[in-house]
């Protein structure tokens, strides 16, 4: 959620190779979902943003740099329903919102005639990606995640409640989301998200997607910022135990936004992973 919005660039020409991004709306289940596409390869890579995130706030370096590193892929970043420019609908939370986003992502890729794809998922997008990979094995080639856990523990609940009031954030931290949602709507939406996340702890023992993780068989890459303050360290060994063949890479000084802070290194790592076949 720490990137900045970028202005819409020109429309794609159907007869030329897409060297820059294009942005458009796609009709999915009665809603117009905003996507940003870059590259022109036959294989597909879906970028899934974090909480309240969108294509540009969360993935500018990936949208701009990955096409050169993944020439065989088309890169597709989406704004989940109710986030970013995918409004309306108004964002709805509840105990099924991760699974609802997962289904919407699958339906989006089918609408794009790209029913099989790989996923790059950050934070909430990583949770959604785990659900897609666990529930729709036929749709996913490869999976890379960071900043995500399959459940929420008590310390994480306390941490979320401590940052529920965005008035306590620095202006630098608030500004990107205020630009997307407005000064009035952003605090409301963030509080709704925090309450929804904490409800998983109160009503489901913190469970986001434990069962789905157990079903994942596809090639998986877990990246991690060792100093990430947003997720408990216990999530990494938990995931690696259940995904024993997953590749793993750690940024010793990294925090939650390793793909932004260390964009060049991060992009090369994930490109090497997604360029593999099988």
pLDDT of residue 16: 36
pTM: 0.92
Cα 274 from Cα 143, distance rounded (Å)? 8
Cα 44 from Cα 2, distance rounded (Å)? 25
pLDDT of residue 20: 80
**Of 221, 42, 205, which Cα lies nearest the Cα of 133?**
221
pLDDT of residue 3: 37
Q: Are 74 and 37 in contact (CB under 8 A)?
A: yes
Q: Would you tell me which CATH number, out of the four given (3.40.50.1820, 2.50.20.10, 3.30.160.20, 3.90.180.10), belongs to the domain 21-151+208-275?
A: 3.40.50.1820
Contacting residues for 233 by C-beta, under 8 A, at least 6 apart: none
Note the helical H segments in the chain. 55-69, 97-111, 124-135, 154-162, 171-181, 185-204, 210-215, 235-242, 258-261, 263-274
Burial 157-193 (b: 16+ CB within 10 A, else e): beebeeebebeeeeeeebebbbebbeeeebbebbeeb
Cα 234 from Cα 231, distance rounded (Å)? 8
pLDDT tens digit string along 230-266? 999 999 999 999 999 999 999 999 999 999 999 999 9
Name beta bridge partners: 266: none
More confident residue, 17 or 75: 75
A 10 A CB-CB count for 143 gives 25
pLDDT tens digit string along 138-175? 999 999 999 999 999 999 999 999 999 999 999 999 99
The residues assigned a catalytic role are 123, 228, 256
Q: Would you list the DSSP string of 68-90? A: HH-TTEEEEEE--TTSTT--SSP
A 10 A CB-CB count for 196 gives 17
Domain ranges of the chain: 21-151+208-275
Cα 83 from Cα 89, distance rounded (Å)? 9
Q: CA dihedral in degrees (147, 249, 121, 112; nearest 10)?
A: 180
In the chain, the N- to C-terminal Cα span, in Å, equals 32
pLDDT of residue 9: 30
* Residues written for the chain: 278
């Amino acid at each position: 959620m720490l990137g900045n919005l970028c202005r819409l660039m020109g429309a794609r020409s159907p007869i030329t190779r897409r060297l820059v991004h294009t942005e458009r709306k796609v009709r999915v289940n009665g809603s117009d979902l905003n996507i940003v596409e870059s590259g022109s390869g036959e294989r597909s890579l879906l970028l899934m943003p974090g909480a309240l995130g969108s294509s540009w706030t969360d993935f500018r370096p990936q949208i701009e740099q990955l096409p050169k590193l993944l020439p065989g892929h088309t890169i597709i970043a989406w704004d989940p329903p109710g986030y970013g420019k995918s409004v309306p609908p108004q964002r709805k939370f509840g105990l099924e919102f991760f699974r609802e986003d997962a289904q919407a992502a699958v339906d989006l890729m089918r609408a794009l005639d790209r029913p099989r794809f790989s996923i790059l998922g950050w934070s909430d997008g990583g949770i959604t990606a785990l659900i897609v990979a666990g529930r729709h094995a036929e749709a996913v080639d490869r999976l890379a995640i960071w900043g995500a856990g399959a459940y929420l523990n008590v310390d994480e609940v306390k941490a979320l409640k401590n940052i529920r009031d965005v008035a306590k954030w620095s202006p630098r931290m608030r500004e990107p989301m205020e630009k997307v949602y407005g000064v009035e709507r952003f605090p409301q939406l963030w509080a709704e998200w925090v309450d929804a996340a904490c409800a998983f702890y109160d009503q489901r023992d913190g469970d986001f997607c434990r069962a789905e993780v157990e079903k994942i068989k596809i090639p998986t890459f877990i990246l991690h910022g060792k100093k990430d303050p947003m997720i408990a360290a216990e999530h990494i060994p938990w995931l690696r135990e259940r995904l024993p063949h997953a590749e793993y890479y750690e940024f010793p000084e990294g925090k939650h936004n390793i793909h932004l802070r260390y964009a060049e290194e991060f992009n090369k790592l994930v490109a090497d992973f997604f360029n593999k076949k099988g």
